Structure 1
Amino acid sequence: GCALSVIFELSFLFQEYIYVNMYLGIIRNRTF
């Protein structure tokens, strides 16, 4: 149970990190 919650939290943070990078990439493409 504890391990599953940790994995779920890590996967959620990783997904959020990917979304932030994609958003920043779009802003950079529009700027340059």
Structure 2
Amino acid sequence: MILHWWADFLDANREKGGSLFDFAKFTTSISL
């Protein structure tokens, strides 16, 4: 699940150049 989310995260970063908001969502998903 986490790996799948991580792949989506990387794809999103590639599309819009990345953002702190996306990074925050990623760290939140890890803490959960």
Compute the TM-score of the two structures, normalised by the length of structure 1: 0.49
Relative contact order, CA 8 A, sep 6+: which one is greater? 2
Compute the TM-score of the two structures, normalised by the length of structure 2: 0.49
